[in-house]
Amino acid sequence: MFLPIHDDNRLVHVRRAWVNYALIAANVACFFLAGGLNATLVEANALSFGLIPSVVNDIAELPPNLVVIPEALSFLTYAFMHASLIHLGGNMLFLWVFGDNIEDAMGHARYLLFYLLGAAGSGYIYTLAERSSEAPLIGASGAVAAVVGAYLVLHPKVKLWILAFGRIPLRLRAWWVLGAWLVFQVANLVMATPESSKIAWWAHIGGFAIGAVLVVPLRRKAVPLFDRKLSPPPLNR
């Protein structure tokens, strides 16, 4: 629908968003370690490290030779696996544009906690919605959706540069862009086709909701919600 390019939103509390950079680097490294462009190897690793609803819900079991990590750990490992360069690039572009400001609002440690909770929480919501699915869920989309939800709560008035339909440059308020993104996710969930149902819409929507909620307690006390200015102290007269 659109690709984010840049936001007019400078960092205030941190010099560099080191955790966000590290998360992007970790996702890229995991993609190539898991097979990269070798589709057969990626598929095999997706079964071992992806999140499979029927397995975590005790409906099915993985063959013993594919069990390489504790089942509970797959709620995190799935978020560092990607099916293709396009899948990886799209998620990392969103994380690059929006993640630094969320790290700035929370601080390094709390942002890392937020990201991992977004990944685990969106994955859990997906396993509740698709209990019997045997297809492995992979990708950082749920965690990135949490970042998007947090950004909309903190910075709805910030202007973003985007490529609409991948080719038309536009500069719009974040609430227009990210609100449209959310509507697109819900619409696709409601009107899912056999092809679109392969996308984890529940993980996207669940991650967005988790991010919008968690940003409130995890942000710095000095960071206002919805781009509201903090009221100055009253003057003594």
Which CATH number is 46's domain given? Answer: 1.20.1540.10
- Supply the pLDDT for residue 37: 86
Ordered DSSP codes for 90-107: HHHHHHHHHHHHHHHHH-
Q: Which domain holds residue 96?
A: 2-218
Q: Is residue 210 part of a domain?
A: yes
- Tell how strand 159-164 and strand 168-173 pair up: antiparallel
Q: Is residue 224 part of a domain?
A: no
| Ranges of residues in the chain whose predicted pLDDT is under 50 | 230-237
Q: Is residue 71 part of a domain?
A: yes
- Supply the pLDDT for residue 54: 97
Q: Is residue 228 part of a domain?
A: no
Domains: count for the chain: 1
Q: Give how far Cα 51 sits from Cα of 76, 193, 199, 200, Å.
A: 8, 22, 14, 11
- Supply the pLDDT for residue 236: 45
210 contacts 118 by C-beta, under 8 angstroms: yes
Q: CB within 8 A of 200, min separation 6: which ones?
A: 126, 130, 137, 139, 141, 142
SS3 content of the chain, % helix, strand, coil (to 5): 60, 10, 30
Residue 124 has, within 13 A of its CA and on its CB side, a CA count of 11
- Supply the pLDDT for residue 116: 98
Angle made by CA atoms 123, 94, 34, in degrees to the nearest 5: 60
Q: Is residue 13 part of a domain?
A: yes
114 contacts 211 by C-beta, under 8 angstroms: yes
Q: Is residue 235 part of a domain?
A: no
Q: Is residue 148 part of a domain?
A: yes
7 contacts 159 by C-beta, under 8 angstroms: yes
- Supply the pLDDT for residue 195: 61
